[in-house]
Amino acid sequence: SVIESEFPEQLELCNYKLLNQIGDGAFSRVFKAVNVASIDQIPVAIKVIKKKSVFSEYEKHGHGAEDSDRIKPCSRESILNEIAIHKMVSENNPYLVMFIGFQESVSYFYIVSELVTGGEIFDKIIQMSSFSEDLARHVITQVAIAVKHMHYMGVVHRDIKPENLLFDPIPFYGVDGDEFKLGVGGGGIGFVKLTDFGLAKRISHNTAKTPCGTIEYTAPEIFNLEGYSMKVDMWGIGCVLYTLLCGYPPFTEKNPSKLVKKISEGDYEFLAPWWDGVSSGAKNAISHLLEVDPSKRYDIDEFLNDPWLNTYDCLRPSTL
């Protein structure tokens, strides 16, 4: 039977009822939904990608657009790639939004995932204007654990940004002074989950960590290129960390070609007064992430060993 709804996406969707829209992206709308066949009625998130717009956008950008890092790929293959990677990496990892299922209809692709209710880091930054160093460390540590999991599986995310990082405000009982109180887990702000695998890519040779194929005959730049592509995520982590600590991104420029130039030259600053109160340790970590030369940029293990990231603070025990 057809479920009544104000959303056109509902008509072709089986088993799930769309409740309300909770997000959108360049090619998608995301809804809170519920599986009407389930007993528990636990709400989920469904990302709906419209096929028509997918293909017309694809044509607009021309063939070969899926090879570009900056244009969102939108062929059928790329959606199946997103699903396959999402399913593979999010299994048994609390720092990645869990994949639940997939449906395909005449007009839409539907990706069902766990519902994360705390909103985007993007909105939290706007709300709070900036994060304390302890809170920024708490957030970025969880992002780094998610990225480590992906990189170790040979997958690069390629779209790490505040819009793709969601807060999960898990309620928990904790001791506050001599009281036992209901609070929010994860240092009072919630746990952090990485999502959106639309640009994610499997890397065949994982920097010789798990060599496969005949290495004897492989040119060195192949290893370098593939290894360096993981470093794209480290740059993304650097941009997020920078933004958390001051409330604005490291590279801003209205003119797109000037923006590209600034990024290519690594032309960012720790501007006064926003950065005056920030420790040199935090700035040092950022400078290793926003390093233009990928061979000198931190990899995920180096970042996880960074002294600033490993500074003790009161939020840490509840995080990890």
Residues flagged as binding site for ATP: 51
What beta strand segments (E) does 59-187 contain? 99-104, 108-114, 155-156, 165-168, 171-176, 179-184
Which single residue is written with the structure tokens 């931190």? 298
CA quadruple 152, 157, 162, 163: dihedral sign: negative
Specify whether the CB–CB gap between 192 and 168 falls below 8 A: yes
Q: Return the number of the residue (35 or 207) whose C-beta is nearest ligand ADP.
A: 35
Which of 23, 25, 169, 188: binder of Mg ion (CB under 5 A)?
A: 25
Q: Return the number of the residue (26 or 320) whose C-beta is nearest ligand ADP.
A: 26
Q: Return the number of the residue (26 or 260) whose C-beta is nearest ligand ADP.
A: 26
Q: Does 47 bind ligand ADP (CB under 6 A)?
A: yes
Q: Is the peptide bond before 220 cis (omega within 30 degrees of 0)?
A: no
Q: Return the number of the residue (81 or 164) whose C-beta is nearest ligand ADP.
A: 164
- Please identify which of the residues 67, 159, 267, 301 carries the catalytic annotation: 159
d(CA 66, CA 140): 29
Q: Does 79 bind ligand ADP (CB under 6 A)?
A: no
What residues does 48 pair with on adjacent strands?
Answer: 29, 110
Q: Does 23 bind Mg ion (CB under 5 A)?
A: no
d(CA 3, CA 15): 9
Which of 16, 27, 58, 191: binder of ligand ADP (CB under 6 A)?
A: 27
Site string for ligand ADP, 182-201 (x = CB under 6 A): -------------xx-x---
Q: Does 196 bind Mg ion (CB under 5 A)?
A: yes
Per the annotation, binding residues are: 51
CA quadruple 210, 78, 295, 218: dihedral sign: positive
67 catalytic residue (yes or no): no
d(CA 269, CA 162): 20
Q: How many residues bind ligand ADP (CB under 6 A)?
A: 21
> What residue number has its CB nearest to ligand ADP?
25
d(CA 180, CA 173): 7
Q: Does 164 bind ligand ADP (CB under 6 A)?
A: yes
Return the one option of ligand ADP, Mg ion, none that residue 188 interacts with (CB less than 5 to 8 A, by type): none
Cα–Cα nearest to 192, from 120, 133, 128, 243:
120
d(CA 12, CA 2): 8
Site string for ligand ADP, 96-125 (x = CB under 6 A): -x---------------xxxx---x-----
Catalytic positions, written as ranges:
159
Q: Would you tell me which residues interact with Mg ion (CB under 5 A)? A: 25, 164, 196
Q: Would you tell me which residues interact with ligand ADP (CB under 6 A)? A: 22-23, 25-28, 30, 45, 47, 97, 113-116, 120, 163-164, 166, 195-196, 198
